[in-house]
Structure 1
Amino acid sequence: MVLIAGPCVIESRENVMRIAESLKRYAEEETIDFYFKASFDKANRTSLESFRGPGLEEGMRIFEEVKERFGYRTLTDVHETWQVPAAAETVDVLQIPAFLCRQTDLLVAAAKTDCIVNIKKGQFMVPSDMKYSVLKVLKTRGFESADYETSEKAGVWLTERGSTFGYGNLVVDMRALPIMRRFAPVVFDATHSVQMPGQGGKTGGDSTFVPYLARAAAAAGVDGFFFETHFDPAIALSDGPNMIRPDALESLIGQIKAIREIVEEA
């Protein structure tokens, strides 16, 4: 089971190290393929005044320290093609943000690296149309078809993070998970799926629904899970209403693993 966890954004070196320390148990778990996640720049914040992060250079220095200190594989998102080469030198997974999931030049640039490419499904996208984003990466890497086995071999993932439902809310259609698994391994992003965009110049959310959606995704069948974590979401500088504490994550992972075992035995 792939597990992607960490803070929404790099708030400070100290903040990242504290959160990374709290996630050590998952990197040591043999049944979990763990990746530490953080963003060096949140280029798609609602307001110009919102905190974005330390930037590429400082962000990569912090990622290098995380890898040296904890031995974690790491994931970060990239928003522009010029960021890709520098990020690829440090992290193991390049994530394409949901709003940019059709951005051809960005997908091709990421495909030209040795990194796994994790494409987040846009809130506005039909699940079946994500096949074409996958194909942009696969064809750049020399593959002609998009199916689960090919994408797994080529290092291409898809992440579900909810769909726009009118204004100010997202919903998760669990049918999207098996649809997208036809052409790539699928990760379920339980924390971004509870977002409520458009809350007075920022994005709100309700993290109390994270366990329900995560358990439902485990029952539907996915390859991994994405959780943004923070030791105190109330003071987080980005996505606080959606994040969960590391201690809450521990019990939820146990529930997910139990559900997965039932599904695999069925």
Structure 2
Amino acid sequence: MRERVGWAPEMALILGSGLGRLAEAADETTVVPAAEIPGYPESTVEGHSGKLVFGALEDTRVVFVQGRVHLYEGYPVQKIAMPVRLVHALGADRMLVTNSAGGINRTFDPGTLMFITSHLNMAFASPGVGAGAGPARQRSDEEQAPFYEPGWTSRAEQVALDLGLDARRGTYAWTLGPSYETKAEVRALEQLGADAVGMSTVPEVIQAHQLGMAVLGLSTITNPAAGLAPGGLDHDEVLEVSERVRGDLMKLVRGIVRVADA
């Protein structure tokens, strides 16, 4: 990868459902298909084209990770987190992770942007546990730090406010999937303090945290959580709302990259 790209990225951006086109915002890009990377997990979900896109964004060298893999696709959780280990080994010490999520907080309308301040690991899986996780060890001081960097989150929130975007803060619940949640599950997650729910992000954040990377999480609320939505949901709705807010997200992502080290 170093030979193909020729320089080290400073930041990784992991893109969720329908958000892959955000990589078009970068300049002077080099694209590496996931299929050409040994050991890289292949995504099987529509809207997740597997590739790494290296480029410049707001005078920062970045790598976009397109085509994330979910636990329900059958891969071990350690394999799901492999792209995070790869971009960190290439030099990235910051990670912006995005996703599309169902809104549990009843004040979150579709199109709301939510900065993740904490998460619930309802899939009860971690890349730090099991085969391939490495030897057991005591948690370091860095691992006691918040999973989502408070300073970067605050600066990003100000960028969103300056752009006039409907941005909130909240807790993201990770569930296994691929089925949507039942009404009972949504009620339970609401009681546990979740503001949004989805099927990704948390294993990548756990891996980045273990590697000492600074993390900012951003959810696009594309729909009410399944248990709250009259008439049911489908993946096309997720992609439709993601497309509608794409322009605002591109502006916001540029601002988030710009203030990462402020």
**TM-score, normalized by length of structure 2?**
0.37
Of structures 1 and 2, the one with the larger relative CO (CA 8 A, separation 6+) is 2
Q: Which protein has the bigger strand share?
A: 2
> Which structure shows the bigger proportion of residues in helix conformation?
1
